Structure 1
Amino acid sequence: MIVSNVSLSGCAGVNSALCAGAGEGHLGGGSYRNTLTPTGNVVVAVCLGFIGTFGLLNNLLVLVLFCRYKMLRSPINLLLINISISDLLVCVLGTPFSFAASTQGRWLIGEGGCVWYGFANSLFGIVSLISLAVLSYERYSTMMTPTEADSSNYCKISLGITLSWVYSLIWTMPPLFGWSSYGPEGPGTTCSVDWSAKSANNVSYIICLFVFCLIVPFLVIVFCYGKLLCAIRQVSGINASMSRKREQRVLFMVVIMVICYLLCWLPYGIMALLATFGPPDLVTPEASIIPSVLAKTSTVINPVIYVFMNKQFYRCFQALLRCETPRRGSSVKSSSKVATKAMKGVAVTSPRRTNDFLFMVASLGQPATTIPQLGPSYEPTIDVTRPPSSDINKPVIVSLVTHFDG
């Protein structure tokens, strides 16, 4: 966040090697002093070490599961893989350098390395944020679209993944060409956008970055998941006990997603704005390192929330540990046939009641023993290893269940 620029004469009484190294690492030709104490540097290094290690392991495990089990290779899961790849790249290409800098109390790979670090971490971080927004929109659009989910249609998902990388490049490349710049942040052991410059050039970029790369994805996530919760509430009158349990589960998932998003990224955004628009000494380097570390924790949290809380991935994870074949649910094809028979047996006289029934099947995903007209062995889960049915008149039976519960 804000960078303290002082003369090297201010290093009196401080380790001269530390000051000299920090001065060499500072961009813009000025001198720079690391203000963290040795204990502070050790604490930051330990935090970054845990984040880098667990982030690497979590995201590698996601990729191993995806490659090992064909049942996970569905379009929606590709978005989860895109998030894991971007987080993994942060753990491999970013965190080790800031960890090493914290252990030594100064930036170690020079001015060019600082620019590269700032660009790469910004790029991968924004890819992750935009992918979360695309994921929420995909869940919302799949739930609301009155067509059968196609487990072989990768076009829309591929477009969303491409959009996340192109969008991120659009907003992270300008500092390389003069619209703002990348430089040291906080106590000088990490690099990012130069939050402290007060020029119109820099301020305009930071405002755009804050709005289009933090606020807009957050609004998309809140809107899409909010609409999904409203859809579940609308069908609560059909089967109150079933709907209440599903609603509570989805509400819990949405609240966790939003809270973790805000916990990881909002402090960083607020600190950046304070450093940009506040007085020069408002944000100290010691305080600014905390939001920077919190932002990096997203590489650990994202796989846990979006993958391992997904029943489909979790079943495969259990199977991997036990060296056995994962348990599978009913196929989309067979479930569609049963649901079609159920629809034929239900006297629906208005489009509104038809939509309510479809929402109930798509939202609840409970065993069919509690749903009239369905056989006792029917369970509306998904087996993506089988091809989707080609019947035109089959209703939607999967969407929210698929994406939240696997």
Structure 2
Amino acid sequence: VIPLSTNSLYQNSFTSGTLLSSLSRGGHTSAAVVLGFILVLGVLGNFLLLLVFSRFPGLRTPANLLLINISVSDMLVCLFGTPLSLAASVRGRWLTGTYGCRWYGFCNALFGIVSLVSLSLLSFERYTALLGGSQLNSVQDRRARLAVAVSWFYSLVWTLPPLLGWSSYGPEGPGTICSVQWQQRSLAARSYVACLFVFCLLLPLLLMVFCYGKILLAVRDKTRFSLTVIMKRRLTPLIIVLFTITGYLLCWIPYGVVAMLASFEEPGVVPPAATLVPSLLAKTSTVLNPVICGLLNNQFSRCFLHMISCSAEDSTSSDGVWSSRGIWPQNMQIKEQNTEPATLPSRDHHGRQWEQVQMDDNET
């Protein structure tokens, strides 16, 4: 962290491109390699995830709208933020000046908070859907769309203030990344960092712990009796969501802790180079979503494999492995709700006719 007495010199050196980074050439190269992998895997993985959702309507359940929202925000981080830090790491200094730094800091904060808030709203949706009884699909759909809108509005509320004078966006760590100015010692800057930590990291975490704690207690009570096949099947979506949340928290909590230390501890307690590691760890969250869906969810992975196979045989040999319930069912009751069937493309690229496949709920 840069001491207050040298902060102005640090800013001037940064914007003029003459800042001498505390990171070695090898360190910059390593960071560039990691960012390159994050960029490629994040763009490719989230693009494929969104493509599968667009091709199979049966996967687009109300709850999955929040998953789509997370993928969109992760994709935007990869497109509008990661390339700037990658180029800076390759050259060993920031390349796009003050305005580019502000843009980078704002985009990363905006899209990152959208993902975190969407995860907390997803936990609340699971809590109300699994424990609150049956609801009409139209009600669930409106609630999911409202949750998506809330995630973006809430994120804007907390990421616009640094552009308007409450704290600011600027260089972080070795000078190849930008974010909120954690090292500033003014009352306004510290109050913003504290609010950001409480309302954009701690509060979503507490909501997730509460909702999933209630769900797990309900599941534990049900296991005292014999579980039906459908009840057992409904545990898998919960495991997928828990893996997603655990991964995101492992990525973001170290960054939040370092930011608080940089803001409220003595100057120099967190060396500039040391802030790079949690920053890179936070950026890896953009890769988690498609990996977890692809590895843990049979419905999604089989739809993906069918999509890339472009084979008529694949559409008739799966014995109904796709599910019209998408990745997460809407409740834990035995009786299933009617939803729109997922339909495979009617023709392949050779013009051969494919049969429409009705997804069922026989497996996950």
- Which interval holds the TM-score relative to the shorter structure? 0.7 to 0.9
1:23 aligns with 2:23: no
* Distance in 2 separating the partners of 1:154 and 1:148: 10
Indicate how the Cα distance of structure 1 residues 329 and 40 shifts in structure 2: closer, same or farther if over 3 A, else same: closer
User: How big is the shift at 1:91?
Assistant: 0.4
**Which of 259, 265, 290 is the equivalent residue of 1:303?**
290
Give the secondary-structure state (helix, strand or coil) at the position aligned to 1:192: strand
Q: CA RMSD in A?
A: 3.2
Give the alignment of 1:105-116 within 5 angstroms. Answer: 105-116=92-103
Larger CA deviation: 237-246 vs 75-84: 237-246
Shift of 1:232: 1.2
Aligned to 1:200, which of 187, 193, 211? 187
* Bigger relative CO (Cα 8 Å, ≥ 6 apart): 2
Asked which structure has the greater CA Rg, the reply is: 1
What SS does the corresponding residue of 1:267 show, helix, strand or coil?
A: helix
**1:48, 1:293 within 8 Å by CA — same for their partners in 2?**
yes
SS in 2 for 1:207: helix
TM-score between both structures, scaled by the size of structure 1: 0.74
> Structure 2 CA distance, aligned partners of 1:94 and 1:69?
30
* Aligned partner of 1:384 among 331, 340, 344: 340
> Is the CA contact (8 Å cut-off) linking 1:3 and 1:188 kept in structure 2?
no
Matched residue, 1:41: 28
Q: Is 1:4–1:187's contact at 8 Å kept on the other side of the alignment?
A: no
Aligned to 2:213: 226
CA displacement at 1:72 relative to structure 2: 1.7
Alpha-carbon distance, 1:5 to partner:
8.0
Question: What pairs up with 1:274-289 in 2 under 5 angstroms?
Answer: 274-289=261-276
1:171 to 158, 171, 180: 158
Question: What is the TM-score with the length of structure 2 in the denominator?
Answer: 0.82
- Secondary structure of residue in 1 paired with 2:192: helix
Q: Which amino acid aligns with 1:193?
A: V
SS at match of 1:361: coil
Q: CA deviation at 1:40?
A: 0.3
User: Given residue 282 of structure 1, which amino acid in structure 2 is its aligned partner?
Assistant: V
Tell me by how many angstroms 1:208 deviates: 0.3
Pair 1:104-2:111 in alignment: no
Match of 1:361?
A: 334
Task: Return the alpha-carbon distance in structure 1 between the equivalents of residues 324 and 178 of structure 2.
Answer: 49
Structure 2 Cα separation of the partners of residues 312 and 77 of structure 1: 13
Q: For residues 159-213 of structure 1, give each alpha carbon's deviation from its aligned partner in whole angstroms, at most 9, with x where no partner exists.
A: 0000000000000000011100000001000000000001100000000000000
Query: Are the equivalent residues in 1 in contact too, given 2:42–2:286 (CA < 8 A)?
Result: yes
Q: 1:385 to 1:43 in 2, by over 3 A?
A: same
Equivalent of 1:150, from 137, 143, 155? 137
Looking at structure 2, the residues matched to 227 and 308 of structure 1 have their Cα atoms a distance apart, in angstroms, of 26
CA distance in 1, matches of 2:112, 2:205: 14
Which position in structure 2 is the counterpart of 1:51?
38
Cα 1:259–1:252 shift into 2, 3 Å: same
Question: Are the counterparts in 2 of residues 118 and 193 from structure 1 also a CA contact under 8 Å?
Answer: yes
Change (3 A) 1:288 1:26: farther
- 1:92 matched to 2:79? The reply is yes
Identity of aligned residues (%): 47
For 2:15, the aligned partner's letter is G
Compared with structure 1, are the counterparts of its residues 51 and 330 closer, same or farther at alpha carbon in structure 2 (3 Å cutoff)? Answer: closer
* Distance change (3 Å), C-alpha of 1:221 and 1:286: same
Question: CA-to-partner distance for each residue in 1:249-280, whole Å, 9 max, x for gaps?
Answer: 56754653343122100110000011001111
Contact 2:231 2:332 in 1 (8 A): no
Does the 8 Å CA contact 1:268/1:295 hold for their aligned counterparts?
Answer: yes
Deviation at 1:384, TM superposition (A): 3.5
> Aligned residue pairs: how many?
334
Gaps of 5+ in 2: 326-330, 343-359
The CA distance in 1 between the partners of 2:340 and 2:291, in whole Å, is 22
Structure 1 residue 153 displacement after superposition: 4.6
* Range with bigger deviation, 68-77 or 87-96: 68-77
Q: State the AA in 1 paired with 2:341.
A: T
Measure how far apart 1:105 and its partner are. 0.3
What is the alpha-carbon distance in structure 2 between the residues aligned to residue 254 and residue 71 of structure 1? 19
Amino acid at match of 2:146: L
Contact 1:184 1:191 in 2 (8 A): yes
Q: Distance in 1 between matches of 2:206 and 2:99?
A: 35
1:179 is paired with a residue whose SS is coil
Tell me which residue corresponds to 1:117: 104
Encode CA deviations 1:296-324: one digit per residue, 9 max, x unaligned.
00000122225653333222112113224
The reply to whether residue 239 of structure 1 matches residue 226 of structure 2 is: yes
